[in-house]
């Protein structure tokens, strides 16, 4: 596994290679994989809790009614959707796509999952955003809070996995610690752990990627 000092150096070099702009640039981690047969349907879609989050947190939408909907509202989620809204979106493809793009995570009452599949499944599925089911009595507030401090790490039939680790307003140590948390989850999901990692890269929106090859990682451990 790439150690913390190496990640700090990656972030530092990526920041040095970024051109200043009049907007806040995102920092992204990319893991390039090897020795994995993508023809066998390799995919990766995980929600990873990170220790530090930028000022703009993920948007969470809860699909529920009644008590669960009320508790979601009290939890301060970004949006609450009821069955009537689902039915409306099922006949308005443009609006459905807009809703899917607007939110990073969807949580839903288990009773609504079948309806969601019919109305929004074709839009949520390809984006890897199918809702996390909320069983009766689930602690909506704590679950929503966890998603507010998480990022989605996703890849489908590609030999790379990417995730946002923060933005340029965060310090190098925070970004490195976020990257470390994400890499730990990725390694656990890979067939051979860190042996399946060819490269680790960090890049800001308007900058060049800072790379660390798996070979250099091994040499630094010696």
Q: Are residues 98 and 166 in the same domain?
A: no
Q: Are residues 48 and 72 in the same domain?
A: no
Number of domains in the chain: 2
Per-residue pLDDT at 131: 95
Closest CA to 206 of 35, 16, 33, 68: 16
Q: Are residues 88 and 128 in the same domain?
A: yes
Residue that finishes a domain, picked among 132, 147, 162: 147
Q: Are residues 9 and 72 in the same domain?
A: no
Per-residue pLDDT at 218: 46
Structural domain boundaries enclosing 179: 4-55+150-221
Looking at residue 121, which CATH number applies to its domain?
3.40.50.790
Facing residues of 109 across strands? 134
Measured CA to CA in angstroms, residue 215 lies from 2, 97, 201 at distances of 11, 42, 14
Residues 6+ positions from 57 with CB-CB distance below 8 Å: 148, 149
In a 10 Å sphere around its CB, with 0-12 CB exposed, 13-18 middle and 19+ buried, how is residue 55 labelled? Answer: exposed
Q: Are residues 30 and 51 in the same domain?
A: yes
> Could you report the average pLDDT of every consecutive run of 10 residues in the chain (222 residues)?
89 92 93 89 88 90 93 92 89 93 96 92 93 93 93 87 94 97 94 93 94 58 52
Per-residue pLDDT at 215: 39
Q: Are residues 114 and 171 in the same domain?
A: no
Q: Are residues 128 and 161 in the same domain?
A: no
Residue that finishes a domain, picked among 147, 168, 203: 147
Q: Are residues 51 and 158 in the same domain?
A: yes
Per-residue pLDDT at 2: 83
Q: Are residues 112 and 129 in the same domain?
A: yes
Q: At what angle do helices 140-148 and 66-74 cross, to 10 degrees?
A: 50
Closest CA to 98 of 140, 55, 59: 59
pTM of the predicted model, to two decimals? 0.85
Q: Are residues 93 and 117 in the same domain?
A: yes
Burial 13-30 (b: 16+ CB within 10 A, else e): bbbeebeeeeeebbbbbb
**Is the Cα torsion angle 20, 167, 205, 145 positive or negative in sign?**
negative
Q: Are residues 68 and 139 in the same domain?
A: yes
Per-residue pLDDT at 43: 83
Q: Are residues 159 and 142 in the same domain?
A: no
Residue that finishes a domain, picked among 147, 177, 208: 147
Looking at residue 49, which CATH number applies to its domain?
3.30.190.20
Q: Tokens 């879609």 appear where?
A: 45
Per-residue pLDDT at 123: 94
């Amino acid at each position: 596994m790439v150690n913390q000092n190496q990640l700090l150096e990656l972030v530092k070099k990526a920041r040095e290679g970024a051109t200043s702009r009049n907007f806040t640039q995102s920092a992204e981690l990319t893991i390039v994989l090897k020795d994995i047969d993508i023809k066998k349907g390799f995919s990766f879609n995980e929600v990873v809790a990170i220790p530090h989050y930028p000022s703009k947190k993920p948007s969470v939408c809860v699909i529920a009614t009644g008590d669960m909907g009320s508790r979601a509202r009290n939890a301060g989620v970004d949006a609450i959707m009821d069955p009537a809204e689902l039915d409306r979106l099922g006949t308005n493809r443009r609006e459905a796509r807009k809703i899917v793009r607007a939110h990073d995570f969807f949580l839903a009452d288990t009773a609504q999952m079948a309806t969601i599949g019919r109305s929004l499944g074709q839009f949520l599925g390809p984006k890897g955003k199918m809702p996390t089911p909320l069983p009766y009595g689930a602690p909506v507030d704590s679950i929503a809070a966890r998603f507010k401090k998480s990022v989605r790490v996703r890849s489908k039939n590609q030999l790379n996995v990417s995730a946002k680790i923060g933005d340029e307003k965060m310090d190098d140590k925070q970004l490195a610690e976020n990257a470390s948390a994400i890499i730990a989850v990725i390694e656990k999901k890979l067939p051979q752990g860190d042996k399946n990692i060819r490269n680790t890269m960090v890049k800001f929106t308007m900058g060049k990627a800072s790379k660390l090859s798996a070979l250099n990682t091994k040499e630094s451990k010696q």
